[in-house]
Amino acid sequence: MNHTGNAPKHLLALIGKRVQLQYTNDPYTGLRQGDKGVVNFVDDVGTIHVNWDSGSSLGLVSEAGDKWIVID
């Protein structure tokens, strides 16, 4: 899946980049600090959808407090 064209431009540069999770406040995810994945797409509201190495597909939302770093 690709972005629809209305995603925030500064986030589109993350597509295809490897990221490492620093923090998420999602109480239902099995992801933990240090988990890694590849940004698959960014949606219209700025959610960064990641294909995590663990198999998860949790999206990250900076406005919700999620934090990550680009590692590649």
Query: What are the phi and psi torsion angles at 64 (to 5°)?
Result: -90, 0
* pLDDT computed for residue 71 by the predictor: 97
pLDDT tens by residue, 4-48? 567 778 889 999 999 999 999 999 999 999 999 999 999 988 999
The Cα 63–Cα 16 span in angstroms is 21
| Rama region for 53: left / alpha / beta (φ>0; ψ in -120 to 50; rest) | alpha
Where along the chain do its domains lie?
9-70
User: Is the model more confident about 65 or about 1?
Assistant: 65
pLDDT at 4: 52
Average pLDDT of span 60-71: 94
CATH number for the segment(s) 9-70: 2.30.30
